[in-house]
Structure 1
């Protein structure tokens, strides 16, 4: 099993999760993070660190977020790993409360 970043991360891109990841399994896109399922060791550390509760165990991903399992797998092969915490996007606090924003995901 792996962990999956879901829609809540879109346009926020908090990187608290990156800071605690012992294997550097996060990859960074323009306005979203993903977890490389081949690198994730299922340690659960990232889940508690995400301020927008965007990270789920693969078996626990909500039904309306299931497409993010494939999105994480796909984009983790295209995007570069992120190994250090960075500032969130400048308007992340505003976007943190928005529920439907998957259409805003930039690839």
Structure 2
């Protein structure tokens, strides 16, 4: 299970998450950052520093934000 970045990141892109990620699994997209679910080691470092509280464990993503689970995956398929 990986962490997922959700809608509060759209347009925010502060980048603290990228700086603290020990495995470099977070990349910047056009509107927001994305976490590669195949590389994420579930350490939680990114979640702790997110200034807009946009990062959740995949199984804790709020229901209204569930589409971001697939958006994160698709970002890395392209």
Could you state the TM-score of these two structures normalised by the residue count of structure 2?
A: 0.95
Task: Give the match's secondary structure for 2:72.
Answer: helix
How many residues are paired up? 78
* Stretches of 4+ aligned residues off by more than 2 angstroms: none
Asked whether 1:4 is paired with 2:4, we answer yes
- After TM superposition, give the deviation of residue 28 of structure 1 in Å: 1.1
Match of 2:49 in 1: 49
Contact 1:6 1:54 in 2 (8 A): yes
Write the distance in 1 (CA, Å) between the matches of 2:64 and 2:50.
19
Structure number, greater radius of gyration: 1
Task: Give the match's secondary structure for 2:14.
Answer: coil
Report the aligned-residue RMSD.
Answer: 0.8
Contact 1:10 1:32 in 2 (8 A): yes
Contact 2:4 2:56 in 1 (8 A): yes
